[in-house]
Chain A
Amino acid sequence: MTKGKFYPLLLGVAVALGACSKNNEKTSVGTGNTPPPNAIAPGNVSGVVKGVFVAGASYTITGNLQVNKGDTLSAQPGAQITVKNNSLINVDGVLSLIGSKDSTIEINSDTKLPGSWGGLICDSATSVTIKWTHVDNTGGPDPTGSPTETVEMTTPGTLDIEDSWFTNGQDNGFNLKGGCKITILRNTILCSGSTDGEAIDVKNGVTGTIAYNVIYSQAGTAIKLESSSTTPIPQTQITAYNNTILCNGWRRGQAEPGRAISVDVGAMALFYNNIIEDNYQGILVTDQADTTNTKYGNNLFYASADTFLDTTGAASGLTPVTINIRSEFYPPDGIAKPQPTDIISTMVGQFDPMFVSFDGKLSTPNGAATSNNYHLQPGSPAIGKGNTTYNADIGAYTSDGKGNQH
């Protein structure tokens, strides 16, 4: 065989392969392999920063980060961020952490101990977006020795937190003030606040929606709403629906019982379709709230035990105190009353929301591991009993799939 004889054959094969590949065209776009022009180099980061934490890369924050006004700090799906030295991230510009269901962003400290870094302090930020991100173990001491909050925003920007996880903080989870506009959807907030702090603390003219969140074992109140006691306008106006709120408010003790939802000082709220189980107190609306415009109903109240025995003072010789959980669904201190559309359990076993799994522990320490699953079993009394303005079901996990994705 001479070389020459092969040429037509090769050509023929090539033509045939060419025709074939045209039919099965595959396009691959440069995901992650080509860093964006403003990528932040992987490795140690500290000081003034802007740009992008890129997908799949690992970063170690070794000192406080500062995002200046006008600058943006963003993260791509899969970015791994480890924080050392109790550093915090202070944002005066834009924060945009956008992970995906398949590739979440992780922010945690090197020690992975509760209260070991300073959180996302976005006091003066213009915009905060956090999606599909794990934010764990915040709450290290700030310059005054107080625990920092997990996410803080105190100016009239926009805050959008969706599908993310927040665990083991030391104080308030989200501390929101100063008239920001909030959208807090489908998040899971677990085991935060050492002996104080609310999960979502909304004050001073903040408006927006809090829905489909799971809030479990917060030291203080799960969703706390207030206007400023000195500057009542703009008013705090929140719609809170389809949240699953469990086991909150115990760690702070009897002097400051935590609630599932509290509406105080000039705040206006609409809250429907929430599952409220095993909290120290359920729904508190004080006489200082905007009682004319605050509306609520279709909330499911359940206690997995009749009472909680508080033995905190036992070491000091105090008699243990028995707390009747059901009598605190609408605590007598408040003016909120049971609504006809509410589902209120009057005994253990009645109107149990039937979570896939729940260990029945009412109070656990800050940072304790938990593996409960708050999806509803078929036949749950929460299904189909919602206020349909919001959802046909009650709780964070709904049959229409619009609820929590975790």
Chain B
Amino acid sequence: MKTAFLLCFTFFCQWIYAQNGGIKGKVTGKDGEPLIGALVTLEHTSFRAVTDSEGRFSFQNVPPGEYIVVLESVGYGTANRHIKLKEGETEKVNAELEPRTTELQEVSVYGKLSQEEDAGARNREKRSDNIVNVVSARAMERSPDINAANVLQRVSGVTVLRNGGGDEAYADVRGMQPQYNNTLIDGIKIASPDDKSRTISMSLVPSDLLGSIEVHKTLLPEMEGDAIGGTVNLVMKDAPQKETFKVLGSLGYSTIVFNQPFDYFSRKDIQQKSPTERYGDSYVAQPGDFSRTNLEFHPITPPPTGTATIAYGNRYMHNKLGLLVVESFQNQYYGNYNNFAQVGPAYNANGAPQITDFANRWYSTQQLNEGITAHLDYNINPRNKITLNNMALYSFLGQARTEVDTAIVGGNGGRTVPGTGPVTTDWTSATQRTYMENLKLSGKHVLSQHFMLDWTGVYSLAFARAPDMADLQVNDLIDSVHSANGTYGYNGTYGFQKTPNYFDAISRVWQHNRDQDFDVMANLSYKTSLPGRGILELKGGGLYRAKVRYNLQNSYTLKPDTDAMGIKQVFIDVQSARWTVFDPKGSYDYDVNNYRAYEDIAAGYGEFKFSFPWLDVLGGVRVENTQQGFTINNFHVGSINEVHKTYTDPLPSLDLKFKLNPKTNLRASYYKSIARPAYYDLVPTQVLNFAAGTATEGNDTLKHTVADNYDLRFEYYPREEEALQAGVFYKHLINTIEQQSSDGVNYRISNVPEAHVYGAELSYTKYFGKFGLTGNYTYLNSRTVTSKQYYHLNPPYQQPDSLVPRPLQGMTDHTVNLSAMYRNPKRGTFVQLAFQYLGSSLSNVYNIVGWDYYQRPTANLALSAEQQLRNRHLTLFTKWNNLTNSSVRSQIKGHSDMDLSKEVTGLSFSFGLRYEH
């Protein structure tokens, strides 16, 4: 580790060189506030600078001579200063810019107040036509977070839903689960490597690639309409105004790897292709075709988690051409312990809940993420700009899972006394490579003073390969040993005895999929002034997206050889296990997970905006036509082999923004939006999720969800970087898409006819000198109904199924995020302590009245700190997560004595160095 740091240091030193004087100064607004992100240029030279968080800029190594300094900022006028620079001297230029209240068409070629800084983020929230929350790159860099998922969980109204192993994470916006939100990268919906849905795990996106994250909570007609909770837009970093070079690296640990064994398995023998894919469809697989070493788990001390990012940006050709390349690498080792209990009614206790099955799971995960973004923009002239963006994300996941499942009731007799029962143990090794690439070409053209055209073409590709996910299952029985006198000592004293492990079966699954999107979109807008300092903007446009995807799966079951008496094999280790291939041709020819899917979306909209100094009115209608469906590759007689759906939704919206004063907005908004069923939600077949140990059955009759959304928000922006936002909202959903369980293990996707969601949000950022406080609070509530049973068992009596109210799944009632910050720009110090409280949420819907699983409230602390070193180019930083070592638990209401699930991820920390120039 020491050597690594030393190497980094040597590397940094090469970039430090002597600095001379030049031109420096400060740009302020009319009340003396510093303007951040203002553009300063020396006319007829390549010198350009953007002001920092204090409104300051500086040029070094400027040759002596006469210059015109141009200072400009969006929303403000332009100032010119004429200076004479003598050799070796430094000239000071300060300017106060006048606010500009009306603007016509403008291409944001130069001088955009960058959203990558906090002040720009607040400014974006304030000036936006819709309700949006923005996190700047600077805030992410300083936060304890390293990927988009971590960042999002601190945004007002957002919680992050993680899968059991902790390797996938999806954003819930306003408590609405991922299927109700859309995720965009640079405003574009991208292809997904998920085998069944269109979601993208936010943990795959390193935050170092991001310029900002926008969470849009209301939709404009120009935005895609499939967001009921909201739209998460990951904005990639933009080309800088001047040459920028940045390198950072960090090392750390997820400490759970010290508290439980970190299991590692060899990847060297993993066959990338299944026997069928290697040898052809008629091949009869032999026992020797299946490797053994990937099922041998060895505990290791994993290497530290490491991250590294390099970014370079510059402008060339007299600033016409801008370039930014960011490369980010993360290699993480982490663990997870979780357990899950199923409950059932105890027959001889008149149906009181009792635990029927209890599973303990230990996961050891290596996750490697590598992301590259390249951005090129070319300003043909001030009225025409073309941009090319490419983003590539690669991820490798290697996961060793151990699951020990004890049947407490049923199974093969269940538990007699505490400590006993039939036990099933699974060892699963999984590797997965996912790749996503998004190539986007876009242009902006000011056609005249009134007309502007912008267009975008996108090719988006995602694929995943999960070769040979291997699961070895054995079982044993722990029984009580009774007294020797032969009495049936059911309740007497006892000891324990355990049978050998018996070899149940091995399953091997090969899976790969590819998802491709082709998008074209264009918008034309017309702007004109109105009397009373007003502006009318009319905008129209459309989008067409064609998506094709396939998924292929081939699985094999290996069954134990038996002895001469036919008895099941005792399992000692995987090397000595003997098996036969039960389905030697694999599932290739009949697997229901072999399918092709498509989704074609054609959308058009018309939008108007009246803008007056005190009021903006924006409204319009978007119409989205969806054609979606799938075809199973193999014909299944009597089953549903294909589903095609077509639907068209007119989606009106209206946004009112009362600008009570220059610092205060009051917004009211209505929009209609939809949520489409995921590709595989329509397939009426039960599909096993090995990771979660659950099975989900799709539903071909599923309808898409339509929602009416109403919002009110008050916003107050007292100073740059400061804000107070308070809002309430209400949503009415028709045909929600929910997973419902009858037993906590088997799920069916179905429509619930109606749901009401309402909530309140408050967010606040305030600085007191060097101290700052930022926080948000979200209250969410919802009401829908489920058909449930109520039992009286003695004598047996069943109340007819009744519709019982409940909240939507995954919706956290109270969420509090509170961060205390200390910043001292002079000394280059920044410290942030982030607290999070997550209230209760419904985690599983159960079929019996009152038995829904609720996640218990959790509280969590994270810490981050950075210190600039002497030359100001070098920053030392540290990030600490889950300081409180909190775990997530769930239970049935009224039965706090029964812990039904628990998930432990442990504390993690890292230290790093950042060089910026």
Interface pick from A98-106, A155-163, A287-295: A287-295
Query: Which residues from chain A contact B744 at a C-beta distance below 8 Å?
Result: 230
Q: Does A126 contact B (CB under 8 A)?
A: no
B346, B572, B583: the one within 8 Å of A141 (CB)? B583
**Which residue of chain A lies nearest to B742 when distances are taken between CB atoms in the complex?**
A230
CB distance from A199 to the nearest CB of B (A): 15
Q: A194-B559, A287-B348 are in contact. Are A264 and B413 (CB under 8 A)?
A: yes
With A and B bound together, what is the CA distance between A34 and B113 in angstroms? 91
Interface pick from A10-18, A63-71, A180-188, A352-360: A63-71
**Which residue of chain A lies nearest to B410 when distances are taken between CB atoms in the complex?**
A265
Q: Does B532 contact A (CB under 8 A)?
A: no
A contact residues, range:
35 or more
B351, B559, B566, B592: the one within 8 Å of A251 (CB)? B566
Q: Does A380 contact B (CB under 8 A)?
A: no
CB distance from A154 to the nearest CB of B (A): 12
Q: Does A266 contact B (CB under 8 A)?
A: yes
Q: Does A405 contact B (CB under 8 A)?
A: no
With A and B bound together, what is the CA distance between A48 and B744 in angstroms? 35
A143, A289, A327: the one within 8 Å of B590 (CB)? A143
Can you list, as one digit per residue, whether each of B828-852 has a CB less than 8 Å from chain A (1) or not (0)? 0000000000000000001110000
B475, B592, B742: the one within 8 Å of A256 (CB)? B475
With A and B bound together, what is the CA distance between A228 and B345 in angstroms? 9
Query: Which residues from chain B contact A334 at a C-beta distance below 8 Å?
Result: 413
Q: Are B556 and A312 in contact (CB under 8 A)?
A: no
Query: Which residues from chain B contact A335 at a C-beta distance below 8 Å?
Result: 490
Q: Does A38 contact B (CB under 8 A)?
A: no
Q: Are A312 and B789 in contact (CB under 8 A)?
A: no
With A and B bound together, what is the CA distance between A310 and B566 in angstroms? 11
Q: Are B416 and A333 in contact (CB under 8 A)?
A: yes
Q: Does B774 contact A (CB under 8 A)?
A: no
Interface pick from B154-162, B790-798, B811-819: B790-798
Q: Which of A249-291 contact B (CB under 8 A)?
A: 250-257, 262, 264-266, 284, 286-291
A-B interface pairs (CB < 8 A), number: 200
Q: Are B416 and A252 in contact (CB under 8 A)?
A: no
Can you list, as one digit per residue, whether each of A220-261 has a CB less than 8 Å from chain B (1) or not (0)? 000000111111111100000000000000111111110000
Q: Which of B482-533 contact A (CB under 8 A)?
A: 482, 486, 488-490, 499-502, 504, 507
Q: Does B55 contact A (CB under 8 A)?
A: no
Q: Does B564 contact A (CB under 8 A)?
A: yes
Q: A232-B791, A290-B347 are in contact. Are A312 and B569 (CB under 8 A)?
A: yes
Query: Which residues from chain B contact A141 at a C-beta distance below 8 Å?
Result: 557, 582-583, 587
With A and B bound together, what is the CA distance between A363 and B563 in angstroms? 10
Can you list, as one digit per residue, whether each of A300-341 has a CB less than 8 Å from chain B (1) or not (0)? 000000000011110111100000000100101111010000
Query: Which residues from chain A contact B345 at a C-beta distance below 8 Å?
Result: 230, 232, 266
CB distance from A198 to the nearest CB of B (A): 10
CB distance from A70 to the nearest CB of B (A): 13
Q: Does A8 contact B (CB under 8 A)?
A: no
Q: Are B344 and A230 in contact (CB under 8 A)?
A: yes
Query: Which residues from chain B contact A254 at a C-beta distance below 8 Å?
Result: 477, 499-500, 502
Q: Are A365 and B566 in contact (CB under 8 A)?
A: yes
With A and B bound together, what is the CA distance between A144 and B505 in angstroms? 13
**Which residue of chain B lies nearest to A69 when distances are taken between CB atoms in the complex?**
B638
Q: Does A60 contact B (CB under 8 A)?
A: no
Q: Does B442 contact A (CB under 8 A)?
A: no
Query: Which residues from chain B contact A266 at a C-beta distance below 8 Å?
Result: 345, 347, 793
Q: Are A363 and B592 in contact (CB under 8 A)?
A: no
Q: Does A364 contact B (CB under 8 A)?
A: yes
Q: Are A365 and B500 in contact (CB under 8 A)?
A: no
25 contacts between A and B (CB under 8 A): A66-B637, A143-B592, A144-B555, A145-B507, A195-B504, A196-B504, A229-B342, A230-B344, A230-B356, A250-B565, A253-B499, A253-B570, A255-B477, A266-B345, A290-B348, A312-B567, A318-B570, A327-B486, A330-B488, A332-B489, A335-B490, A363-B565, A365-B564, A365-B566, A368-B566
Closest 7 CB pairs of A and B: A66-B638, A365-B566, A141-B583, A145-B557, A229-B344, A266-B347, A313-B570
A contact residues vs B (CB 8 Å cutoff)? 46-48, 63-68, 90, 92, 115, 140-141, 143-147, 194-196, 219, 226-235, 250-257, 262, 264-266, 284, 286-292, 310-313, 315-318, 327, 330, 332-335, 337, 362-366, 368
Known: A46-B637, A252-B567. 8 other contacts (CB 8 A): A65-B637, A230-B342, A233-B789, A233-B796, A250-B566, A257-B477, A327-B486, A333-B479
